[in-house]
Amino acid sequence: MAPGKPRIQFRVMEGAETLGLRALRREFGLYGEVVCALIRVDSARQPLNVEIEFSSSKSTLKVKSWTGEGSYLPLYKPEGLVDAFRRDADAAFLCYADNFDKKVNSFRDLAHFAQYVTDWCSASLKTCSLCWSPTRGVYAQMECCQKADQERVISKLMTELYGEKRLSVSSVTGGDYQGQTEKSYRVDWSVVASEAAVAGIEQKESEKLLKLEKLARKAAEKAQKKKDKKGKKKDKKGKKDKKDKKKKKDKKKDKKSKKDKKCKEEIQKVQFQAQPVHKDESSEEKPKKVEADDPPDGSKFAWETSSSSSSEEPPPKKVKEVDVKSLGPMAMLAGSDEESSQS
């Protein structure tokens, strides 16, 4: 957060104990990059208000006109803009606690922590806030009533465990105690935060994180596109193979059907040729007799002209010689009987 950077402040409704930092980031992250989210309770550990800080003033102006329509967050309309940096700088006794578990998120968790500080550390608190930033994560801000309360909070939280975690505590007068040897040191997180805000380190780090996220998103999109292209190519190839297979099958079927058709036609032709042709005798025409034309006047008949041929005897008929051997043994016996009878 840069000095003088305004935050949008919301007043919470009743029953906002379950409202947390993650829900705020999820809801208002749609309007722009959230640099800081804060929930605050009062001295009675009741939900007081909510603050949101954006990296750009355009997002801040957009959220300033937020009405809450379509949102499930128990928040009223924005009350206005707050200069949180100057307000925290003017506060007398502030303490910061880091290294919280990820489970610490809502107003209920913040009330539990404020109760722990009040009871265990014997300190009176004006307000207690649970904050989130991209570089620091979740941390608590406690405004004590007097310096003695601030010292007790620092000394107790540095030596005791909160749940299963040892918290890092700091303030303007104290610091984060690291170790118990000669080389141990203290870190004043309030000074570090203010100097970092002045130098714009948090904003630069958030920009770096955004760039890294964009690069990772682009890489994931490229990988997904490549995967989709491969899938499309495979689908096209599979469709083409299916079409080719179908065409081949159709061609084979056509060839087979043509071949069967030809075979059937040839068989029918052969059968037709083999069948005998039955002719009706009645329908057949009998051969016409050729009648001899009458001879012209003055000509003689053939029998008159050839008188010599009529006087001659007809030639003797040739007697067929029958081979007895070819007729068999019985014919030979019959022939021998005839000869004996003649003799």
Q: How many Å is the maximal CA-CA distance in the chain?
A: 188
pLDDT band for position 170 (cuts 50, 70, 90): confident
Cα dihedral 109→85→43→161 (10° resolution): 40
Q: Given pLDDT bands bounded at 50, 70 and 90, which one contains residue 184?
A: very low
CATH of range 6-199; options 3.30.70.330, 2.60.40.10, 3.30.365.10, 3.30.70.980: 3.30.70.330
Q: What tokens appear for 46 in the block?
A: 């009741």
DSSP tag of 49: E
pLDDT per position as a tens digit, 18-58: 999 999 999 999 999 999 999 999 999 999 999 999 988 89
Looking at residue 287, its pLDDT comes to: 53
* Residue 260 pLDDT class (50, 70, 90 cuts): confident
Q: Is 147 strand, coil or helix? A: helix
Residue range 175-183: mean pLDDT, rounded: 43
**Contacting residues for 84 by C-beta, under 8 A, at least 6 apart:** 1, 5, 7, 36, 38, 51, 53
Quote the pLDDT of residue 176: 42
- pLDDT for 185-239, tens place per residue? 455 555 566 556 656 666 777 788 888 888 988 998 988 888 888 888 777 777 7
pLDDT in tens, 64-123: 989 888 889 999 999 989 988 888 888 888 889 988 888 899 999 999 999 999 998 888
Cβ atoms 169, 97 nearer than 8 A: yes
The predicted-structure confidence for 283-328, as pLDDT tens digits, reads as follows: 445 555 545 555 555 555 555 555 444 445 555 555 555 555 555 5
Predicted local distance difference test score (pLDDT) of residue 179? 41
Predicted pLDDT at 120: 87
Domain ranges for the chain, please list them. 6-199, 209-254
